[in-house]
């Protein structure tokens, strides 16, 4: 039988149990930006200004491969990311007290950075398409 939980600990426990759903939503947004939007805008930028404008050597290599390799690589990246994220959430659930709260805040910061980086990649690709040059 579990020991009784005080009011503030019960509230914190309830909040942290509800957050994984929110975390999955933020991961979905980040992966959409980092994989889908970046893929589509990179393909359009390569068609508009040429492969020389692609700064990422892995993406430049992928853009000259058959379409199934390009898409398959992105699907594998999404699946691996989801599996790894599930592991991170399990670690979060195993942690307790202040460590759990610090872990949750760190995870939130990391997810925020992923979304911000995805938005920057989108803006950079649009800059290449419109102006013919990178923001970097």
pTM of the model: 0.82
Residue 85 counted as domain residue: yes
Residue 88 counted as domain residue: yes
DSSP code at position 52 = G
| Residue 1 to residues 9, 12, 91, 93, 125, Cα–Cα distance (Å) | 17, 20, 23, 19, 56
Q: Model confidence over 26-64: pLDDT tens digits?
A: 999 999 999 999 999 999 999 999 998 888 999 999 999
Specify which of 8-12, 17-21, 39-43 reaches the highest per-range mean pLDDT: 39-43
Residue 13 counted as domain residue: no
Section 117-127 average pLDDT? 95
Q: What's the pLDDT at 123?
A: 96
Residue 5 counted as domain residue: no
Q: pLDDT band for position 8 (50/70/90)?
A: low
How many structural domains comprise the chain? 1
Residue 2 predicted with pLDDT over 50: no
* Residue environment code for 98-129, b if the CB has 16+ CB neighbours within 10 A, otherwise e: eebeebbeebeeebeebbeebeebbebbebbb
Residues sharing a CB contact under 8 Å with residue 129, sequence separation 6 or more, in sequence order = 41, 44, 45, 48, 49
Q: What's the pLDDT at 64?
A: 94
Residue 4 counted as domain residue: no
- Domain extent, residue 51, equals 18-131
Q: What's the pLDDT at 95?
A: 87
Region class of 80: left (phi > 0), else alpha (psi between -120 and 50), else beta: alpha
Q: Is 5 helix (H, G, I), strand (E, B) or coil?
A: coil
Residue 2 counted as domain residue: no
- Percent of the chain exceeding pLDDT 70 equals 87
């Amino acid at each position: 039988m579990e020991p009784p939980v005080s009011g503030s600990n019960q509230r914190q426990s309830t909040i942290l149990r509800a957050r994984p759903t929110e975390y999955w939503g933020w991961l979905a947004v980040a992966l959409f930006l980092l994989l889908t939007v970046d893929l589509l805008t990179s393909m359009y930028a390569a068609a508009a200004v040429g492969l020389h404008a692609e700064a990422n050597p892995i993406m430049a290599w992928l853009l000259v491969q058959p379409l199934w390799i390009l898409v398959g690589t992105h699907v594998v990246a999404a699946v691996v990311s989801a599996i790894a994220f599930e592991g991170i959430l399990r670690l979060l659930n195993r942690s307790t007290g202040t460590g759990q709260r610090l872990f949750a805040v760190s995870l939130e910061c990391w997810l925020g950075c992923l979304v911000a980086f995805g938005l920057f990649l989108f803006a950079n690709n649009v800059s290449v398409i419109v102006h013919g040059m990178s923001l970097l």
